[in-house]
Amino acid sequence: MKIALFIIVFIMIFNLLYSTEISISSNPLYQLNLTFDLYHHGFLDEALERFIGLYNNERTPKEYKAEALYMMGEISYEKKDFNNAIADWNNFKKEYPDHELNDTISGKLENIKQAILKEKHSKVSALDIANDYYRHNFNEIAKEKFLSIYHNPDSSADEKAKALYIVGQIIFEEGDYSLALEDWELLITKFPDSEYAKQIAIIYSQISDIITFDSDRNSITLVARAYLQNGDFWSNADREFIIDSSWMPNVEIALKWYDKVLEELPNTPSAEVAYRRKLFALLGSSNPDDNQKVFGLKQDFKKYIPVVLKTFSDFEKDFPKSAYMQGFRYQIAQAYWTEGYTKSAKTWLKKIIMYGDGKETFYTETAKARLKNLEF
């Protein structure tokens, strides 16, 4: 009898406690207040989970759903999860267009926009800083900066691609061709749709082909380098691919490649270099010990001087502030003078003085001296 009475009392107490728990847990106001307490005490993840539950519970009253949805965006905003914050608050504005919290949401969405712009500007600045180090020949620092951008999880795919592209370019210029090609292969593999990968993909085989000598810079260990140097001492090999260019149209072949740079990369630093190389090729050179080395103006003045003038005119138009302008003007004047075209030489020497703007520079003073002594 006592046992039966105990069981009945136990069941009554259990049912009372269970019903109280059900009534409390199913009470949306209770759940909302509890979740707000969790939020205010810093339990953001648990609070977010509960707000999501409240918002998606069909028994939650509309006004509580609105608060839950707003807080879902607020927690994401505080955690800098801007994509989810934007999504939640846009849903809020759509579902509750007349709610008083919309003004607050609009202000915070604007804050998000500014934060994203600031973050984007910061990334661009990082690229600019790295570029500046590269332009001023601080290559080691530049490589470090670009590699940091490449490995930064917050960098965009385009930023990573550009960083990898320029790192490869720096290393290539330093002579470590194998490592540069590895970086560019990685660029093509990981970022195939980027403009930088497309540029490299087009000329990758040509880049491989222009490696004309063996370089091991930065790519081997000190021990291996010591062994290789010992071998090099005894081999006396030049480790260079020799191309016999006898009887080939050297200038025309050179111009073809310089023109490809000018066509494909107009108005870029690469184009300025191409103009300079093209003019040097056209101006020509000669080696008194080997007539096969004579080329350009030194080989055939009448043939190449029109091309020289046209190339210089294009160079001057595209890069009027280039530091090489006066030097090439003097080379053209000197070429005319050497061939006996005194009048044309005088014209170009006077151009040098005119572009000197009254300042005494190396080329203006040299031009003045030559004008006084144009006769052979």
Work out the number of other CB atoms within 10 angstroms of the CB of residue 114.
10
Whole-angstrom distance, CA of residue 100 vs CA of residue 69: 14
- Per residue in 333-371, pLDDT (tens digit) is 999 999 999 999 999 999 999 999 888 889 999 999 999
Are the C-beta atoms of residues 297 and 282 closer than 8 Å to each other?
Answer: yes
Q: List b or e across 8-28, with b for residues whose CB sees 16 or more CB atoms inside 10 angstroms.
A: eeeeeeeeeeeeeeeeeeeeb
Residue for token pair 């999860």: 81
Predicted pLDDT at 247: 60
Whole-angstrom distance, CA of residue 295 vs CA of residue 341: 20
Q: How many CA atoms lie within 13 A of 13 on its CB side?
A: 6
Whole-angstrom distance, CA of residue 163 vs CA of residue 227: 34
Whole-angstrom distance between the N-terminal and C-terminal Cα of the chain? 140
Are the C-beta atoms of residues 239 and 213 closer than 8 Å to each other?
Answer: yes
3-state helix, strand, coil in the chain (%, to 5): 75, 5, 25
- Per residue in 206-249, pLDDT (tens digit) is 665 555 444 454 444 545 555 666 666 665 555 555 445 556 67
Q: Structure pTM?
A: 0.50
Quick check: helix, strand or coil at residue 56? helix
Please name the amino acid found at residue 257. Answer: W
Computed on alpha carbons and rounded to an integer, the radius of gyration of the chain in Å comes to 37
Predicted pLDDT at 171: 87
Q: Beta strand pairing status for 285-287 and 290-295? A: antiparallel
User: Which are the contacts of 350, defined by CB distance < 8 A and separation ≥ 6?
Assistant: 367, 371
Whole-angstrom distance, CA of residue 362 vs CA of residue 329: 13
- Per residue in 246-294, pLDDT (tens digit) is 566 778 888 888 898 888 888 887 788 889 989 998 988 655 555 556 7
Predicted pLDDT at 293: 62
Q: What is the mean pLDDT of residues 90-111?
A: 90
Per DSSP, what are the bridge partners of residue 290?
287
Nearest to 218 by CA among 187, 253, 172: 172
